Structure 1
Amino acid sequence: MEVPVYREGERPLQAYSIQRKTKETDIQLSLSLEGGEVAVSTGIGFFDHMLTAFAFYGGLGLKLEVDGDLEVDGHHTVEDVGIVLGQAMSRALGDRKGIRRFASAYIPMDEALCFTALDFSNRPFLVFDADMPQPMIGAYDACLTEEFMRAFAVNSGLTLHMKCLYGKNAHHIIEALFKSLGVAVKEAVAVTGTGVTSTKGVL
């Protein structure tokens, strides 16, 4: 069930709420591009930490509750959060009129340096180049970072390029990736005009 926070035909208020339930996950998510409370509970502590960092550096309000099949592993939970977060982002952006659209960010964390470049183009694509030196951070499988980013990009209509230039600690690499995503999203969704940022006139 999706619950818009604006009436059809009106400019979106840059917020959206979604509830999505499958046999693997039950997710309730509210997203505001204008900021607000950040409260995240997925059952995976490190993932909560990453989503909280993403929302903070993205200037986003994010309320997220997830009941997932963690007795299997974290894959469904992480990927499905990416799907729902991406859908909420796309709905909150509405027709995308006035947004800056493009942005990029370098973020260092200790020995790691990561880069994100993105375009809210409505042409989803992911390029992900980040090796993970350690396979697990607590109960979080490091390889799921790419799965989350792919699900988020596809469902938000985002062209997303991410790269770890160097790093030896998977915790630092993943955190720098999430933070760089947040910083870039904050810049890209900023309203700087009135029309669509495209020579075609539509995204």
Structure 2
Amino acid sequence: MPRRSAALDRATPEAIAVAALRLIDEEGPAALSFRALADRLEVSHATVQRRCTDLAGLMDLCTEHLAARLPEIPAGTDWAEATEQRFGALYRLLTAHPGLLVLRGGRPWLGRQLLARLVEPALADSVAAGMSRAEAVTVYRRMYLLTLGCAAFVDHRDPTGATAASRAALAALDPAEFPVLGGDPAELLPALTDHEVYYGALRQLIAAARPTG
């Protein structure tokens, strides 16, 4: 029987994902590397690479780890309520780990956990509610892109920093050239970090897409 590697036992896919997310959250996306991750796990750089192959593989481990935490919505839940629960949960996961979105860039997220916990049940509910498959995919896509965009463009873990940076940028504008943006920033800044901006937009999409049958 071949001997098990103690290093591989420590560097399980789950352990790698947890350590990588913690590293990104604590030090920022630029700090992530196989060597930094190996140091945290107390294994070799080669051991981590054997598990992930490359950065894309590492990102897949991280996103699958998060997707496994998405809720399973009970059968029979109202379509609108189930849709808000699913996408709201995804939004909360993504805003908790904004550095992950930076590293993933535009790469599609097609791991089994996301497909099984979000995509397939969302589409199945829409089809059961009376949509065609094409309509269901279009509705899903709109809500998914809204969720990604709202999670990606503000670091919700540091709303104070995001507000301060925006305030400084607005203060540098000439009000004669930018009469709206150059006005009182107190009227503009709260919406930048208000989660209700996302939830309000999501509910509008849900109301517009809700099947009538």
Q: Per residue, is there more helix in 1 or in 2? A: 2
Give the number of the structure whose alpha-carbon radius of gyration is greater: 2
Q: Per residue, is there more strand in 1 or in 2? A: 1
More relative contact order, 1 or 2 (CA 8 Å, 6+ apart): 1
State whether TM-score is above 0.5: no
Relative to the length of structure 2, the TM-score reads 0.29
